[in-house]
A and B are shown apart, each in its own frame.
Chain A
Amino acid sequence: MSVIARFFAFWYDFIVGDDWTVAVGVLLALAVTAWLVGTGIAVWWVMPLAVTLLLALSLARAVRR
């Protein structure tokens, strides 16, 4: 593996870790939050709910492995 590939692999592993779906889910949830804010609805509950679902799915996958 080249130095550049190793550099990116390190930071990927450092921040994203072993379940990339959590990172993608967080990005999607924040995008949905930003979109809903534009509609004028109170959406402070979206991220806590998203984190609960993402954590549950990630843990379920870890147990099945």
Chain B
Amino acid sequence: MGTSAWLLVSAAFLASAVEMVEALTIVLAVGVTRGWRSPLIGAALATGALAVVILALGPALTIIPIDVLRLVVGTLLLVFGMQWLRKAILRASGHKSLHDEDAIFAREADAAKRASHEVRAGMDWYAFTLAFKGVFLEGLEVAFIVVAFGGTPGGMSLAALGAALALVLVVLAGLVVHRPLSRVPENTLKFAVGAMLTTFGIFWGSEGAGVEWPGQELALLGVLAYVLGVSFVAIAAMRRVRVPAAAPARSAAQAESES
């Protein structure tokens, strides 16, 4: 595999792992408090719906000219990746609350306990809906990334491979620990994903605009090193800026809604 392929699989794997950990937290919280059948059906259907989205949109990309596709995909990845990177830098420098899976698990479990236990047609619809929505919405970011990577030759299968590896790993971890995966360095992973998406965005966006990169595909490594360097300088500079007293005291719920 070339440089681009390795980076692509890694980016898809890390992005998928982060989102799947978040989805797993919701499914676990609902499953532990209300039983497993309905949330597992909800999670499975949401995974199926995401696969349909990827399979439907992926092949459609092949009919668009490659330069136009690179420009569009590069632009979307850049805007999307800078969002992730910006939040990760704000978190790493203490200007935004860290993502706390334990707190989110406790909040979701508490809400699930208090909700009514109405069962219709053998299904706990509250548990089903919560699990479906959680998995579908968190997975949509993965689907978006996989479809965007699908805009390059062989990109779809590589990105799908990264996402599938993450799915297997996170599901296995969830089965083993049966608790929120709070030890996963989620904020660090989000930082890495933000840097990688931004790198691909810069590379493909520029190529789509007509740029020829020195070193061609190898330039990806240079761009990644540059993006990481800029991000570390930004974190160091922002750590020197006083954090408003209210920022670290924000609740996990608020932090989650902003993630």
Contact = CB atoms under 8 A, between A and B. Distances in A.
Interface string B211-245: 11110000100010011001100100010010000
A63 B82 contact: no
A18 B144 CA distance: 18
Interface residues of A, number: 30
A44 interface: yes
Nearest to A62: B90
Interface of A: 14-19, 22-23, 26-27, 30, 33-34, 37-38, 42-44, 46-48, 51-52, 54-56, 58-59, 62-63
In the complex, the 9 A-B pairs of residues with the closest C-beta atoms, listed nearest first: A37-B210, A17-B83, A34-B209, A33-B209, A47-B202, A23-B79, A47-B206, A44-B211, A52-B230
B205 interface: yes
B205 A59 contact: no
B245 to A, nearest CB: 14
B224 to A, nearest CB: 11
Interface of B: 71, 74-76, 78-80, 82-83, 85-86, 89-90, 95, 140-141, 144, 198, 201-202, 205-206, 208-214, 219, 223, 226-227, 230-231, 234, 238, 241, 258
Contact of B210 (A16, A22, A34, A63): A34
